[in-house]
Structures are given as structure tokens and as C-alpha cells.
Amino acid sequence: MSVPYETAPYEPSESPESPEEHLARLLGRALNSFELPDDTLRRLDCALAHDGSLHSAHHSAGLHRETYRHTWLLADGSALTLWELVHNTSPGSEPQHEVYVDEEELRAATARLPLPADTPDFELPVLAQLSPIAAPRHTYVPDGSADHARRLLRRAENADRPGAEMAALLATAAAHQITQAFGRPARAGRAGLSFSLYEHAFLLRGGEEISLWEVEHTATPDGRHMCEVYVSEDAARRAMERRAAQIS
């Protein structure tokens, strides 16, 4: 049986927790963590970011009850929430922690607590709005994304390609998606000249989204394929226009 966590659930730590560390702390202090469905735990294996906040509290006659909402952003763009119930069984006793997958289970567990039902003068309601986690714009795949970013930047031949700062940021990429952008430069130039534009979208471990735009083209003196990478779609399309104009 797990030992109840002995300090405040949200005591600041010296460094930010990863989603895995946050989940491990939650499960480690919850007495009923073994009851969580296996499917829920498997989904949390691909968590990319997390947020937690106090949802409500009730203190009365030496007894207390707090509920916390823990939300993880998953690699597929969905969010998963667990509810934590913290309470004591008698005045002055150590807090106990329980965790539930939905609010219905949380309400049923809360109803079993020995707190007076009608003591409004002593109730201290505390409501905290969970910081919203924006839904990702893309459907991401966690598949060697940091390495993919390194290879993309390495093959870029343009002098104004993203530099060391962007490379360091993308080293934290946890998932990515590649999509082809449609549209061609106004001047196609010589026969056989080709341009392709791809968006490489990266989801970082903190939940931030970053896109790089790759131009593949044959607008070179010998017709060979060339790769260029830019930080915005506009910059990439302007580069396509310049290349087409130079070679026509």
C-alpha cells in the first residue's frame, strides 16, 4: 500500500517537473492508484505537458477536504484529466490521497467523507480555474522528433536557415507532423523545374508548437535537388519566387 504523501501537494520544487515525474508523484501518494484502468496509464505514457490546480476545498471542525485537477496533454492532441482527493479522517490526522478518472467517481468518494453537510459558516470554498491547455493545431506522432529536426536543419543549404537557437529549442521536440503545402510560385521557369513546400510542425515537451518550412526545388544551375528551410511560410514562399525568377 502506498504511503500518503507527507507534504503539500503543490509545494514548489526547485525545478519544473516533467509530465512523467508529476504523474509518478501523484500515483505514489494515492492510496488507490492500483485501481486506475490500465488504458488510462498507457495513454499517460505519451504525455507531453501537464498542468495541475486546486479545484475546491472545504474545511470544517478540524476536518478538511481538497480536490485537485491534474491534466496532461497527450501526443495525439487530446487531454486526459485525473482528479485527486486529499482529506483527513479525524481532526489533526495525516492527510490521505485518492485519485479518480472522472468527476462522478470523485463526487461519490467525497460524499463518503465524515464532513458536516450543513455548516456554511465554516465552509471555505476555494475555486481555481485550470490554466487552459490549447489544443494543438496538428496531429502529432512521437517518433524520433528531435532527431528529425536535427536532420532537417542539417540538410538545409540556404544561408539564412534557422541557427543554433532554433536547433537547441527543437532538441526538446517530443512529436512532429509533416504536411505538404500546396501552391506554386507564379513563374515556373524552365521546363522540368519543380518546387515542393512542406511544413514540419513540432510539439515541444512544454506544449509549445513550432513549425519550420522546407522548400525542395530544382532551381539550381545543374538541375539538382536543393533543400532550404525557413521559419515562416511567407519567407519560404518568397524564397521560391526568388529562385524561380533567377533561373527563368
Over residues 16-71, the pLDDT tens digits come to 678 888 899 999 999 999 999 999 998 898 787 788 888 888 877 778 888 999 98
Residue 126 CA: distances (Å) to CA of 52, 58, 114, 121, 130: 15, 8, 19, 14, 13
Average of pLDDT values for 168-174?
Answer: 90
Residue owning grid cell 478540524 = 62
pLDDT at 12: 39
DSSP 100-149: ESSHHHHHHHHHTS---SS-TTT------PPPP-PPPSS--B-SSHHHHH
Q: Report the helix count and the strand count for the chain, using DSSP H and E.
A: 6, 8
- Condensed to tens digits (0 to 9), the pLDDT of residues 219-235 reads 888 878 899 999 999 99
Q: How much is the pTM?
A: 0.53
Nine-digit cell string for 241: 519566387
**What mean pLDDT do residues 228-248 have?**
87
Q: Residue 133 pLDDT more than 80?
A: no
Q: Give residue limits of the domains in the chain.
A: 19-111, 145-247
Where does the pLDDT of residue 101 fall: very low under 50, low under 70, confident under 90, or very high at 90 and above? very high
